[in-house]
Amino acid sequence: MEIKGDQIWHSPSPAELLAAAGQEITLKACVHNIRELGGIAFVVLRTGRYLIQSVYDKEVCPDNNLSQLSAGDCVRATGLLRAEPRAENGVELLLHGFTVLSRPASPLPLNLADKELKATLGTKMEYRTVALRHPRERAVFRIQQALACGFREFMLSQDFTEIHTPKITGIGAEGGAEVFELDYFGMPATLAQSPQMYKQTCVAFFDRVFEVGAVYRAELHNTSRHLNEYTGLDFEMGYIDGMEDVMQMETAMLQHTMAYVKEHCAPEIALLDVDVPRIGAIPCIRFADALALLKTLGGGKNRNDLTPEDEVLLFEYYREKGLGEFVFVTHFPTAKRPFYVMDDPHNPRETLSFDLLFRGLEVTTGGQRIHDYDAQVAKMQARGLDPAQFESYIGVHRCGLPPHGGLGIGLERLTMKLCGLSNIRDASLFPRDINHLVP
């Protein structure tokens, strides 16, 4: 990058700035904080990713008064760049002049200058659009971006095709009544609970597909781990020999993605003190065995599913054994899994399905799907569902599908656990829960 006095920088990194020490540069940024110190002042500038310290000294900035400047102002600043080991990123800008490009109409409701934002979750939600201006709050979403980009990069490298499927749909795929309903030109419609049917449809012609898209659950939960609209990282792969192929693909994807985060998010990892997990072979346990183990640990109270407490117990159990922070739990009971999941041929009360837990939280549900038409119709009928109501879905099976399986990952949950956040709302730019429809 060539640097000249008349060149305007967009969000240079500290390393780029250091390389340009000794030169006159121009920077456009937001005034993050001003600290007056005797005759001079430190004006911290916030770019799209970094904080850059600048120094105001009337002697060398004769055309501007510091009183013209307030926190929140967007400015065009010109000055001499110099190395300064005491500054946060080892560099500072000696201001020679600045122009205010725009400014707030009133003082901000939150103090962004503190190292950590001093606000309750409720306050952060109320002033969401301001809270996100805090360096630590926004950093979460650079990490989230890297998770999504790492996922995508890996899937593309494995010949998966990216798809975009409709979220306004005629029928729900995941069962239950927890769907948002709307009127679609006089037809009753729902918001997609998952791209399940579409992913399976696309396996018939792309063999392997993935999607990064919105998922809707009209659940009345109000917990630290549920959102009513979230971002799903979904994939589906054909010609598998069993669900182990899907689990292996996910393991390799997570290894790639965590490496991607490390490579692309060094400043955010440092800022948030993120512990990026090393992923080797991920331990696996069958649900029935997990239940027996959990009973010895004081959990396992629900015989059909894992409770949040169980998930934490399993995490601690494997971590203490030095087996890492991820656990696959497989063969969930048929009763608790949707109609498209394949039953275990050796035990039809269990399914060829799995969850992946990360630091004590379910972040993935996946498994092998039914590909045979007759088998799918039979399972629907056994559940009291009318196959005729799912004609557009089973029509795909009728025309042939390869053996296949896949999974869905909650991007916000993955972000939350990676960043060590205690509430999933902190991992969603604009969270949708039962109380929040704005901003």
362 appears as a binding residue in the annotation: yes
Residue 1 lies near a second copy (rule: CB under 8 A)? no
**DSSP class of 275:** -
Site for a second copy in 363-392 (CB under 8 A): 371-374, 392
Residue 28 lies near a second copy (rule: CB under 8 A)? yes
Residue 221 lies near a second copy (rule: CB under 8 A)? no
Q: Name the minimum Å distance from CB 277 to a second copy.
A: 22
Site for a second copy in 78-107 (CB under 8 A): 101-106
Residue 401 lies near a second copy (rule: CB under 8 A)? yes
Is 11 or 255 the residue whose CB approaches a second copy more closely?
11
**What single letter denotes the amino acid at residue 66?**
L
The token pair at 229 is 């609209």
- Sequence-distant (6+) residues with CB within 8 A of 265 are 142, 143, 146, 274
79 appears as a binding residue in the annotation: no
Using the structure block, give the residue that is written with the tokens 């970094």: 50
Q: Name the minimum Å distance from CB 188 to a second copy.
A: 9
Residue 216 lies near a second copy (rule: CB under 8 A)? yes
Site for a second copy in 310-329 (CB under 8 A): none
CA angle 398, 404, 409 (to 5 degrees): 120
The token pair at 255 is 């290894």
190 appears as a binding residue in the annotation: no
- Sequence-distant (6+) residues with CB within 8 A of 393 are 171, 173, 197
404 appears as a binding residue in the annotation: no
CB atoms < 10 A from the CB of 91, how many?
A: 23
271 appears as a binding residue in the annotation: no
Residue 269 lies near a second copy (rule: CB under 8 A)? no
Identify whether the C-beta of residue 349 lies closer than 8 Å to the C-beta of residue 334: yes
Is 239 or 295 the residue whose CB approaches a second copy more closely?
239
Residue 185 lies near a second copy (rule: CB under 8 A)? yes
Alpha-carbon distances, residue 383 vs 147, 332, 339, 356, 421 (angstroms): 37, 17, 8, 26, 39
Q: Name the minimum Å distance from CB 186 to a second copy.
A: 9
Reduced DSSP (H G I as helix, E B as strand, rest coil) percent helix, strand, coil of the chain, to 5: 35, 30, 40
Distance CA 345, CA 359 (A): 31
174 appears as a binding residue in the annotation: yes
Residue 202 lies near a second copy (rule: CB under 8 A)? yes
Site string for a second copy, 227-246 (x = CB under 8 A): -xx-x------xx-------
309 appears as a binding residue in the annotation: no
CA angle 286, 283, 328 (to 5 degrees): 55
219 appears as a binding residue in the annotation: yes
Identify whether the C-beta of residue 338 lies closer than 8 Å to the C-beta of residue 324: no
Residue 176 lies near a second copy (rule: CB under 8 A)? no
SS3 assignment, position 280: coil
Q: Name the minimum Å distance from CB 226 to a second copy.
A: 13
**Sole binder of a second copy in the list 1, 37, 177, 220 (CB under 8 A):** 220
Residue 133 lies near a second copy (rule: CB under 8 A)? yes
The token pair at 147 is 């998770």
Distance CA 23, CA 31 (A): 21
Site string for a second copy, 38-67 (x = CB under 8 A): --------xxxx------------------
Residue 207 lies near a second copy (rule: CB under 8 A)? yes
Distance CA 78, CA 90 (A): 18
Annotated binding site: 174, 217-219, 225-227, 362, 365, 369, 410-413
Annotated binding site for L-aspartate: 174, 217, 365, 369
Annotated binding site for ATP: 217-219, 225-227, 362, 410-413
